[in-house]
Structure formats: structure tokens, C-alpha cells
A and B are shown apart, each in its own frame.
Chain A
Amino acid sequence: MMNTWIYARNLIVGLWIVFKRTFTKPVTVQYPEERPYLPPRWRGRIVLTRDPDGEERCVACYLCSVACPVDCIALQAADNPEAHDRRYPAFFRINFSRCIYCGMCEEACPTNAIQLIPDFEQSEYARRNLVYEKEDLLISGTGKYPDYNFYRVAGVRTHDKDKGEGEHELHPVDVRSLLP
């Protein structure tokens, strides 16, 4: 007898909770017609960004590839003294079929070149289409860090910045001077 009352009460309470939901805002969205808001720091597709001057930010330092826990980043450093006299990746490849979107590459990147963006729609029918080369990865903007330009703060010379022209740099030393 007692049990029957408990069953009936639970039933009514449960129905009441369901009924209450009728008047709340639904959580489900009609993807893909409706798209959820993803914050800028959401870790989705990986891009390579450019510096404020419009040049590739990646300096091919290999830190992203060594930080990658699934080893899905491969690149080769190259240098073209005629074009811009700075190091860049000859190829830069991410195998997204292996990527786990952990963001370690972004964390390791000393030049803010590699960034994870809130785009996650990467489904493909063939795995080979998930292999992104540099031309697929490189975007034309600066991404999340609009101002940073590695070569303005690094001590090396490039085609448009001589020694001593970087931030917090003195003019090159005149070795032949004996003045104190």
C-alpha cells in the first residue's frame, strides 16, 4: 500500500518536471541551420597566420611538431636570402586525421603563427583530404594576436629590418671605436 503511494508520487513529480520544461528555452539548436556561439579560444581547426605586415609568421622552428603528442605536424625549414632573408617553412603539413585538437602546438609556438580557431567542421569522406598543406593552412590575417611581429623583437636581420632597428635594440656597435 505504502509502495503504491510512493510510485504515484514519483510519477506525478516526474511528469511535473517534464511539464515545466515546456516553458523553458530549448538547449538543442537546429544545426546546421542554426550555429552555436563558440568562444575565440575554442580549439578547432588549426591555421597559420600572418604578421601585421602580411608576411608568414611561421619561422619553421619545429617547436609545434615536437610538441605534438600524435606527431601529426611535419615541416621543413628553408631560407631565401633573395626574397626576404628570413626563415620560413618550405612545406608545412598537418595530418588532421591524426590531430586531437589539444592545442599544444599553439602553446609551443613562439611567434603566434599557429593558432586553433573555433571552426570544427572538418568532416571528409576520404582521409587523404584531411592532410592540409601550407597553402590550406595559411590565412591572410593575424588571427587572435593582431599586433605581434616576431621579427620586430628578434635580434636577427631581415630584408626590411637592419640590425639595431628592432624594438629595444641599440645601434650596432662600432667595433673600431675605443671610446668607453
Chain B
Amino acid sequence: MDMEFSPEDLAFQQEVRDFIAENYPAELRGKQDEGDELTKEDFLSWHRILYKKGWVAPAWPVEYGGTGWTPTQRFIFSEETARADCIRLMPFGLAMVGPVIYTFGTPEQKARFLPRILSGDDWWCQGYSEPGAGSDLASLRTTAVRDGDDYIVNGQKTWTTMAQHADWGFFLVRTDKDAKQQEGISFLLIDMKSPGITVRPIITLGGEHEVNEVFLEDVRVPVSQRVYEENKGWTCAKFLLAHERTGIAGVASSKRGVERVKQIARTELDGDKPLLANPFFKRKLAELEIDLTALEFTELRGLAGPNAGKGPGPESSLLKIKGSEIQQRLTELTLEAVGHYGAPYFRGFGEGDNAHPIGPDYAHRAAPTYFNMRKTTIYGGSNEIQRNIIAKMVLGL
């Protein structure tokens, strides 16, 4: 047992650092620093650069375009990208539907979809939740009825992240109304330009347009776009949920977040001292940092411990619970740290208005981010659902 990087690992670390320094888009960096909302092209710019380098899907098997990195190298890569504050790649293709397709898909589906996920040519969204099906996902009511070589899909999905940009969506639909809840569900890949699809924005607490409602009205979907067997879509969904949870610990980016909060707390004054000298604030920050260390080493034990390589198990629910709590506490501390200047609402000024520099730069996004990040303990299976999973799958209750 050791925490040392081998000479090869250190060389790899340097290679990643150099690559980011030389290739990360300056325009994107500028927008991040200003706290501007990122466009589809912004997201795709970094994606395409990593794709060209062959680094866009480290977790994928080599035969489908993965990097073949060791767990340590993958750890180093995620540390370095977070350290350099690179944007997170959209997970819907790379981390979610991609692994489902290479695990359960037909050769034709793999050939058709995987290369375009890697290249970024297709932007994916996830059609899971419905107005009446949240934590109880299996109660979903969107139907797909067979008509020759097509399904006719009708229903409504919600919380569909970035659907406004999406070329494709992966949807859970009911193909057997009479089966027990989880057994009548199928996993469909749907072209978002299909007639009958309407995407309507939902504006969240921070003022962002991240999520949408998706209405499906007599949408025709070829049967060849069903992944795995009919009525066996839940198998794909469960597999995908485990994948979704692994990255969700977010250790590397939370580490960067802690550094950012420290910086703010060194700058903000509390009396004649920096806020960081306030014992109450300092204690909260120390607890957060220590909890993050505990999360980091819990993740590392899974990554490079006796069960390494066996894929994410139900233990990953622990990473989701603790990781999301930490992300929220970070935004809470940031908002607390900026004091009065958490209040001004910048969207009120209209786009491109730089004439009103109100408060410090680091304060602009504090409140919207705090509001927005309440999502982390709700999405990807709420933290209560994650506790149910641990109780059942790990503790055997």
C-alpha cells in the first residue's frame, strides 16, 4: 500500500499538465473567469480538443475508443483537469448512453452511435424522469406502442438537462402496460429532431436554463433504435445509474472549490482581519476539507484497492451521498463568505452590460450557484434513494 506515483505516472502527470496548458481554449477560460453562461459551442470546444488527442473517454474500453489508462492514470487525469479548472464534459453521451451502447447495443448501434459520441458530433440528453415518476422512476408512463418496424411514443419527460442542445436522447418508455412495473420498460434512442417532439425550458432558481420538459406526441422511432431486449430496459437503466454515480463524488473539482473559498475568505474582511480568521467560519471550512479528504480516500480505496477494476458497485452510493453534500456545503460557504454582495442579481442587467461592476467578481455567481447546487442531492437518484440502495445492496436489509 502506498500513495506514491511511479516515474511513469509522474511523467504522465506532466504530459497532462503540458497538454492542458497548451491546448485549453483561451476564450473558454475567459468566459469561465467572467462567470458567463456557456454555449453549446463552448462545451464542445474542449470536448473536441480532447477527442483529437484521444483522451475524451478514459473510462471506455480501448476497443471502443478508450485510453487504456490504469486507474491511477485516470485519477491523475481527473485531478489535473480539475486543478486547471477545465470545464466538465457533458456526461450524457460519454458517461451514460455510451457505456450502455457498448455494453448492451448491437454491432450496428455501436458503429452508428459510439464514434459520434466520442467526436462530439451528437449531443445527447436523458429522457428518464416524468412529472409523476421521480424517485419512483419505474412508475413512468410514457408509452411506446409497436407499429410495424416502429414504435409510436407518447408521453412527457421532465428535468431533461440540456435537451435544448440535444441531437439525440435516450429514453425509458413503457412497452408493456400489464407487466410488473420494472419489467415492462424499454430503452430507446430517439432523434430529437423527430416530428412530435417539443422541448420547453424550465428556469431553475439561479436563473439558468439547464433543464427542460420534453413532450412526445406520436413520435415514430425505428425498432432498430431500441437498446437490448424489449421490456428489459430496466437492466440498462440500473447499469447506467451505477455509472452515473461514479463521477458524482466530484473530489477533484471540490478540492478546487475549497481553494477558491479559502481565497475568498482571505480577501474578505471581518472586522480588521480576513474572514478566514473568524473561528466559526474557519471551523466550517476545516470540517468541509476534512470530510473531502475522507471522501477522496474512500474513492481511492475503491479505485486502487482490492476491488479495483470490478466496476462501480453499490458502494458508489456512498460517494454520491457524501460528494453531493460536500458540493452543496461548498456553495453554502461561498455565499456566506461574500456577505452583502451575494445579493445583486446580474441577469437583471441584460446581456453584455459591463457598465455596472457591482461587488467583487467572485461574488456574482455565489447565490445562483448555491441555489442551483441544491440539485445535487436530488438528481441521479436522490440521496434518500441512495440510502435505500446501500441498505438493500450493501447491508442486506
A and B pair up: no
**Chain A interface (Cβ within 8 Å of chain B)?**
none
**Chain B interface (Cβ within 8 Å of chain A)?**
none
